[in-house]
Amino acid sequence: MDFDALFTRHLDSLKAEGNYRVFADLERRCGNFPRAANHKDGQLRDVTVWCSNDYLGMGQHPDVIEAMVSAVKACGTGAGGTRNIGGTNHHHILLEAELADLHGKEAALLFTSGYVSNWAALGTLGARIPGAVILSDEKNHASMIEGIRHSRADKVLWRHNDWRDLDRKLHAVGDRPKIVAFESVYSMDGDIAPIREIVEVCEAHGALSYIDEVHAVGMYGPRGGGVTERDGLADRISLIEGTLGKAFGCVGGYITGSAALVDFVRSFSSGFIFTTALPPAVAAAATASIRHLKTSGAERAAQAARVAHLRARLDTAGIPHMANGSHIIPVMIGDPVKCKMISDILMNDWGIYVQPINYPTVPKGTERLRITPGPLHSDADVDHLVTALSSLWRHCALAHAVA
C-alpha cells in the first residue's frame, strides 16, 4: 500500500474543506507580552497576540521567571524520570501542597499536562470503580472524552449545562456508582456551567462530582481558585482538575481532592506511573505563579476590564460575538474558508495574531476567531483590533450584529 498517497489524500481533503491547520511560527518576547516575533518566509516581524491562553501574562512575570531560573541553577533541567524511579523532587511536593491549598482539598497530584490529568484521572476512576457509569456533559473537552473512552466504563451524555437533564439521567441509571464530569468555563463558547445546581443534583444522587477548571484557575475567585472558589462551592466538589499551562503561565496539569481519592489515582493510573515527571524548574515557577495570584487580584481585575472594553467596542462596531460570562470572546464567522482567510489577513496585513477555530474543535458552521484579551493589551491595541475587524467585515461581506 502507498501509505504516503493515503496520507496526502486525507490532507488534501482537509485543505479543500478549509480545516487544515497551519501553525504560526512565533517567538514570544520576554517582558514584551502580548507582543511576539513572527518568523515567515525568512523574515521577522512583530505581531500582537490576541488568542493566548497565558491569560494574565504570568508566563513572563518576573517572580515566575526568577523562580524557574533559580531552580534550574539549583536542580538542573530534567526530573530524571518518573517519580517512582527518579524520585519526587521537593519542588513537586511544594507545588502539590500549594494546589491543594488553592482548592481547599486534602491533596493534589501533578501531571505533565491538563490533557493527561483528565485522561488519566477519568480513565482510572471509570476503570477501577466497579460498575461505574460516567455522565458527561455533551460539550466536554476531548481529553475528558478520551479518558472516559479509555476507562471502558458505561457513558451517558447529558445536554450541555442542563442540570435537569442530568437529574433525569442520574435517576435512570439507578443504584450504580456514578461519576458526573463537566467543566466550569467551556473553552470555545466561553459559557460557564450552573455549578451549584449540578452539585446539588450530584449530592442528591450520591454521585462523585468531577469538574475541569482549566480555563478558570487563576482567573476567578479571590485567590484564583476558579469559579468553584468564586461561588463558594469548592468544598462540595469531589475532584477539581486544573492546569498550570494557562493563567499560571507554565505547563502541566493536576487534580485535587481527598487524600484517598488522589492516592487512588496516583497508585493505579498508568498515565501518572509511567510518565516522566515535570522538571523541578517548571514546578518551582508554577508555585511562584500560584502564590502570587493568591494574594494579587490586580491581574484579574485588569483582565476583566480589558474584556469589558473590547466587548463594548465590538458592539459599537457591530462585530458579532458570543455573549457569555467569561473572559473568552468568540467572534463568529461561520465559514471555515473565510475564517482562515480573515486570520491570515489579520496576521499579514495588520500584525494581529488570532488563530482560526474550525472543525473538529467546533461544529461545522460555527467557525470563529477566539479572542482572549489580557491585562497588558493597551487601548491602542484594542482600537487597532477593532479597526482591522471592521475593515475585514466589509471586505469579506460578513453580516454585522444587529444593535
> Which of the residues are catalytic?
246
The residues, any chain, with a CB within 8 Å of residue 198's CB and separated by 6 or more, are 163, 166, 180, 182, 209
Closest C-alpha to 218, from 176, 185, 264: 185
Closest C-alpha to 31, from 1, 57, 5, 3: 57
Distance in angstroms (rounded) separating the CA atoms of residues 133 and 155: 6
Q: Where are the beta strands (DSSP E) in 75-221?
A: 107-111, 133-137, 154-158, 178-183, 208-212
Residue with cell 511536593: 93
**Contact present, 381 and 60 (Cβ < 8 Å):** no
Distance in angstroms (rounded) separating the CA atoms of residues 210 and 177: 13
**DSSP H/E element including 239:** strand 239-243
Distance between alpha carbon 41 and the CA centroid of its chain, in Å? 31
- Cα separations in angstroms, 330 against 141, 315, 346, 354, 372: 17, 13, 16, 11, 9
Q: Where are the beta strands (DSSP E) in 277-389?
A: 329-332, 352-353, 356-357, 368-371
Beta carbons within 10 angstroms of residue 332's beta carbon: 18
Question: Dihedral angle at the C-alpha atoms of 300, 302, 305, 311, nearest 10 degrees?
Answer: -80
320 prior amide bond cis, ω within 30: no
Distance in angstroms (rounded) separating the CA atoms of residues 353 and 29: 14
**Contact present, 322 and 211 (Cβ < 8 Å):** no
